Structure 1
Amino acid sequence: MKLTIFATTDVHGAIYPFNYFKGEKKETGLLKFKYYIENYKKNHPDEIVLTVDNGDLLQGDVWSEYDSVHRDAPLLPAIINDMYDVIGLGNHEFNFGLPFLSDFYKQVNIPVLNSNVDFLHGDLGNLIKKSMIKTIDTKFGPLKIGFLSVVPTQIMKWDKFNLTGRVKVSPMPEAVTKTAEDLKRQGADLIILLSHSGMSAKEDDQVALGENQAMRMALVTSIDGIVLGHTHDLFPHESMMIDDERLNMDEGTFNEVPMVQPGVSASHLGVLKFDLDEDKRLKSASGQLISGESIEDSDDYLLNYEHDHEQVLSYLEETVGYTREALQTYFARVIPSRAVQIVSEAVVWFAEGLEAVKKENLPILGFNSAIKTGRDGVKDFTDIPVGKLTVADTIDLYKHANTTVIIKINGKVLKEWLEWSASSFNQVGASSLIKSNHSRDGFPGYNFDTFFDLDYTFDLSQPARYHSSAHQISDARRLVEVKYKGIEVKDDEEFLVPANNYKVAYAPFLRDAEIVYESSKSIRDILNDFIKREKDFIDKQPMTLIPEGEYQFVTATKGKYHLENLPINHVRDHGDGLSTFQVTL
């Protein structure tokens, strides 16, 4: 018997092969995989073919935004029902809140799984199963394939405001071991783990509450195949720089367990292959990836989804305002960006109109981080030309479904926050000014915050104080000074900060901050309102880096078209969409 399991993960709403930000066709999209899998089934009638998703399917791109706004008639459930045999949860599934998940999954008629989250209220406990066994009739008798799914316990940190008191989360290894044993007792011949957790050899990922534990879960004896996710990596792929003799890149296995991690935004399709004998014993197994760009699509096939595509387009093309300057994030991790500042200005404007804020009579500090700064490739940047701004542009500027939480902090906490941002830079002497944009072993742009209402200086001759996770790694300090309206900030001085629910729950030094106001309104809705009212602002340059000098860094080559009036020069084109640039500080 031959069993093929096609797998997707971290699709993040990339459904139709079209770049809605640029208004042009693109080479990747979930519907291309759907077409490929349907043809594969026709051409391989003797194989057992299943399709699974490993989470972060619902959030991220414009189809996700459409569905969140049109929650009574979302577009994605019909595709899920027609394409998949089973799907698991990712951490971003929780971003829109549990009521949205409940409404959405009521329209999904295939099994939805999660094995380590208990839903304490509502109907999600019935809609989302702990595990399942799919029984397939074969000429050798029934083949029983068990499925289970886990998500990092850190969802309680990342989505604290949506989940506290509403769910209980168990450690992933504990849930995998217990659930796999249950599936074995129920007669499963094979067990497939949907692990919304990446591959990491780091010590802090090997403990019970580690975030990326796929390697640890591959040691559970009853697991026969794993779909990885969460970190947006590729496996098997030469980019997976882990030195472990148990890794076999040729076979796509770890500890002889076949594994696949098919990237992000439908960039790749994962394939788990199993060859079994007549007694349903495993003879061989492997994991491999298929690049989405290598898959041919069909215009005739896409016509089946043309109406959905047109609905999304119509929603996105609504004009919300105009910009007199280009908005781009190619250099947002090096120097302050107007594309980042506009979100900061919007949430400050929103906060200033609230009675709860007015009563506090405290200074309001706006900040923001650039979300699209190349973490997911050379096209993962904001690049909006001068002219009208549409709904699509506001998603481009702030793609996450975060809500606003206004907190009160003192100067001491503020300084730690700034030290966290300062830690995104390498120490003087490194080949690059900025650390890798990778979430697993670098410092992604979404954790680098710029405070636009302050003036502050970082000394990069000092070591970093924080890891990207906001955990302290040294006693060093890079923050030389920080001023508000020209006056040095004191440790006991109080400020209000319009933040987002992710940031407040994520950083350890912010979790005990007093919450002055919590809004259910998304930051993107606030940004839309701000732009519609044509609120203008002055570009600010709050950050100074020392020592002075010339520093190099890498970003997308297209950044060279935005160098006017910037202290940045293009140095070398790498030929892969990336270039080395030099900034003079």
Structure 2
Amino acid sequence: MKLTVFATTDVHGAVYPYDYFSGKEKSTSLLHIKSYIDRYKESHPDEMVLTVDNGDILQGDVWNDYDFEAGPGHRLLPRIINDTYDVIGIGNHEFNFGLDYLHSVYTSLRPAIINSNVDFMDHPLSKRVLPYTILEKETPGGTIKIGFLSVVPTQILKWDAFHLEGRLNVADMRTTVEKTAAEMKAAGADLTILLSHSGLSKNPDHLKTSGENQTLLMTMIQDVDGIVFGHTHEFFPDRDFDVSIGTIDFKRGTINNKPMVQPGVYGSHAGKLSFEVERSQDGWQTRHQSACLIDTGETRLDSRLLAKYEPFHKKVLEYLSTPIGEIDSPWHTYFSRLFPSKAVQVVAEAGKAYAKRLIAAGELESLPVLGFNAAVKAGRDGPHDFTVLEAGAVTLAEAIDLYKHANTLLVIKIDGATLREWLEWSASQFIIPDEDGFLLRPNRSRDGFPSYNYDTFFDLDYVFDITRPPRYDSTAKQIHDSRRVAEVKYMGREVKDDDEFIIPANNYRVSYTPFLRNAEILHESRLSVRDIIIDYMRGNPQFELRDPMTILPRGTYRMETATKAKDYIMTNQPIRHMKETEHGFSRYEINLE
């Protein structure tokens, strides 16, 4: 008998083949994946076919924002989930909207919803989410029992602390998988498939207890027969990956003889786990197993399926087309990690205006307010992963694109010493220039420095000396005693260690960053950061573009960003397009003399 398990991960709401920010059709989507699976089932009637999702499907695209606003009975995503999946795992972004919203969505879903390492305590989710599920399927050879378990990084307690603290507990992923898989085998599971919302890393920090990307460790657990993994938006099978523990077979898609897939992000690929099994006196035995990826960009979309979901698509378009403001020049994030960007600064300005209203109302003490932000979209997921707003009317869709996450706004108080450490972390994004003169390399690698961890403080003036080693890695873990921040000034005066500042921040940044976890929280808004930005944009704000950063040594450097960025270089910017590299990216020369 043949068993096929199709898998998705990190779909992030990319249901319909349409980019709602650019207004263009797409060649990949969850509907493409469902089209492929439906045709596969028709052409392979003798196979047992199951479909699973590995988490991060409820957040990330405008379908998700529509659902959050629409409320129970009017949400769109549950329809496609119920039409597509047999089993659903939970990703870290499922927790972004809070447990009550998650429970409200899950009550409308038919597939089994599983997670093995989160204890929901006394929340109703404890009854809705199963630690594992075993599906019993009838075959000519008798009943076969296929088990699924799921884990998520323990870091959700940091990333969404203000939704989750005191409301749930999270156990270590690897030890949970060992225990749960053994329990499932004892309960009669003939095959056990792990849905691991965790990446594949060889970094020793990730392989320790409670590491974030532990999937390599899962390959050594005897009772696990196959693995679907995700979280890092990468691909497997991947010939660029070399294991440090055990063996890898790219042709079969196995590590340590376990078939495994990581099918990218936004429905770009589907994963396929294939098993050939036969019944013997000792039960079901696996004769052959393999794994591969299916590129949905090469998949024919079922016109009937497209027509079925077109009314939902039109609802989303209507929701997004509402104009809320106007801008007089293009805003983009193509060069935002080096040059000022209004698409980044507007978030800082919105938070700052919110905090100043609280001060004026007497709800906060009167201290200097510093606005900051990082570019959420700056090429991590490809050349189209940038925010671009053209001059003219700004719609709700574009305002959402300025800040796509559902983080809440927190106002914190920090001292000058903490502020300096925060800037050291930002300074650590730059590599020490090599013989090719690179200042920034693409952050599309497992060990890259993602743009969303590079914060710019627009109300300061500071100097980074990048000839010194970086003090932090991309996760804000200190890796060196060096210091790159040579100077920090506020209103022309050097910032002292005991100076105090009010910072409009977000719950992710405060929870995630080690040197901010003890920051004094002055105010927690009921509004999301995104809602505050939308309100700010409705007032057609006018603010001065600030360039707070100076890099030493001065000179000519190189960086990579999207090829499309060359169309947005201003005449007064010291940027020159050099050549296209690959996959829609180009090399640029930056004169910082």
Would the TM-score normalized by the shorter structure come out above 0.5?
yes
Partner of 1:334: 338
Partner of 2:583: 576
Answer with 299-308 or 184-193: which moved more: 299-308
Q: What is the CA-CA distance between 1:247 and the residue it aligns to? A: 1.3
Q: 2:553 aligns with which of 525, 532, 547?
A: 547
Opposite residue 481 of structure 2, the aligned amino acid is D
Partner of 2:389: 384
Query: Aligned equivalents of 1:440 and 1:575: distance in 2?
Result: 18
Given that residues 200 and 215 in structure 1 are in contact (C-alpha distance below 8 angstroms), is that contact kept between their aligned partners in structure 2? yes
Partner of 1:323: 327
1:467 aligns with 2:473: yes
Q: What is the CA-CA distance between 1:428 and the residue it aligns to? A: 2.6
Partner of 2:254: 253
Answer with 136-145 or 66-75: which moved more: 66-75
Partner of 1:479: 485
Query: Aligned equivalents of 2:340 and 2:240: distance in 1?
Result: 31
Partner of 1:152: 153
Query: Aligned equivalents of 1:304 and 1:283: distance in 2?
Result: 40
Given that residues 370 and 501 in structure 2 are in contact (C-alpha distance below 8 angstroms), is that contact kept between their aligned partners in structure 1? yes
Secondary structure at the counterpart of residue 490 of structure 1: coil
Given that residues 399 and 537 in structure 2 are in contact (C-alpha distance below 8 angstroms), is that contact kept between their aligned partners in structure 1? no
Q: What is the CA-CA distance between 1:120 and the residue it aligns to? A: 1.7
Distance 1:439 1:419, change over 3 A: farther
Partner of 2:347: 343
1:69 aligns with 2:69: yes
RMSD, matched Cα: 1.2
Opposite residue 270 of structure 1, the aligned amino acid is G
Secondary structure at the counterpart of residue 544 of structure 1: strand
Alignment of 1:351-500 (within 5 A): 351-355=355-359, 359-429=364-434, 431=436, 432-438=438-444, 440-500=446-506
Structure 1 alignment gaps of length 5 or more: none
Opposite residue 549 of structure 2, the aligned amino acid is M
Opposite residue 262 of structure 1, the aligned amino acid is P
Distance 1:257 1:239, change over 3 A: same
Q: What is the CA-CA distance between 1:402 and the residue it aligns to? A: 0.7
Distance 1:358 1:484, change over 3 A: farther
Answer with 161-170 or 346-355: which moved more: 346-355
1:172 aligns with 2:176: no
1:292 aligns with 2:296: yes
Answer with 84-93 or 230-239: which moved more: 230-239
Structure 2 alignment gaps of length 5 or more: none
Query: Aligned equivalents of 1:359 and 1:330: distance in 2?
Result: 36
Secondary structure at the counterpart of residue 136 of structure 1: strand
Given that residues 200 and 212 in structure 1 are in contact (C-alpha distance below 8 angstroms), is that contact kept between their aligned partners in structure 2? yes
1:118 aligns with 2:119: yes
Q: What is the CA-CA distance between 1:241 and the residue it aligns to? A: 5.3
Cα deviations by residue, 1:322-355 (Å, 9 ceiling, x for unpaired)? 1111011111112121110011101111111115
Cα deviations by residue, 1:456-494 (Å, 9 ceiling, x for unpaired)? 010011100000110100000000100000000000000
Secondary structure at the counterpart of residue 353 of structure 1: helix
1:181 aligns with 2:187: no
Query: Aligned equivalents of 2:311 and 2:343: distance in 1?
Result: 32
Alignment of 1:220-239 (within 5 A): 220-239=221-240
Query: Aligned equivalents of 1:476 and 1:429: distance in 2?
Result: 19
Secondary structure at the counterpart of residue 281 of structure 1: strand
Query: Aligned equivalents of 1:239 and 1:306: distance in 2?
Result: 39
Secondary structure at the counterpart of residue 275 of structure 1: strand
Secondary structure at the counterpart of residue 132 of structure 1: strand
Query: Aligned equivalents of 1:488 and 1:25: distance in 2?
Result: 51
Q: What is the CA-CA distance between 1:575 and the residue it aligns to? A: 4.7
Alignment of 1:42-53 (within 5 A): 42-53=42-53
Partner of 2:22: 22
1:37 aligns with 2:37: yes
Q: 1:514 aligns with which of 514, 520, 526?
A: 520
Q: What is the CA-CA distance between 1:440 and the residue it aligns to? A: 3.3
Answer with 375-384 or 491-500: which moved more: 375-384
Cα deviations by residue, 1:62-121 (Å, 9 ceiling, x for unpaired)? 111111111322111111111100010000000011111011001111111000000023
Partner of 1:532: 538
Given that residues 435 and 443 in structure 1 are in contact (C-alpha distance below 8 angstroms), is that contact kept between their aligned partners in structure 2? no
Given that residues 8 and 52 in structure 1 are in contact (C-alpha distance below 8 angstroms), is that contact kept between their aligned partners in structure 2? yes
Partner of 2:163: 162
Query: Aligned equivalents of 1:114 and 1:354: distance in 2?
Result: 40
Q: How many residues matched?
A: 585
Distance 1:388 1:241, change over 3 A: farther
Query: Aligned equivalents of 2:149 and 2:205: distance in 1?
Result: 24
Query: Aligned equivalents of 1:241 and 1:191: distance in 2?
Result: 25
Query: Aligned equivalents of 1:192 and 1:520: distance in 2?
Result: 39
Query: Aligned equivalents of 2:524 and 2:304: distance in 1?
Result: 47
TM-score, scaled relative to structure 2: 0.97
Query: Aligned equivalents of 1:317 and 1:484: distance in 2?
Result: 40
Query: Aligned equivalents of 1:240 and 1:571: distance in 2?
Result: 30
Query: Aligned equivalents of 1:266 and 1:357: distance in 2?
Result: 48
Partner of 1:563: 569
Aligned sequence identity (%): 51
Query: Aligned equivalents of 1:244 and 1:572: distance in 2?
Result: 39
Q: What is the CA-CA distance between 1:436 and the residue it aligns to? A: 3.9
Query: Aligned equivalents of 2:562 and 2:441: distance in 1?
Result: 15
Query: Aligned equivalents of 1:467 and 1:14: distance in 2?
Result: 31
Given that residues 231 and 439 in structure 1 are in contact (C-alpha distance below 8 angstroms), is that contact kept between their aligned partners in structure 2? no
Q: What is the CA-CA distance between 1:573 and the residue it aligns to? A: 1.2
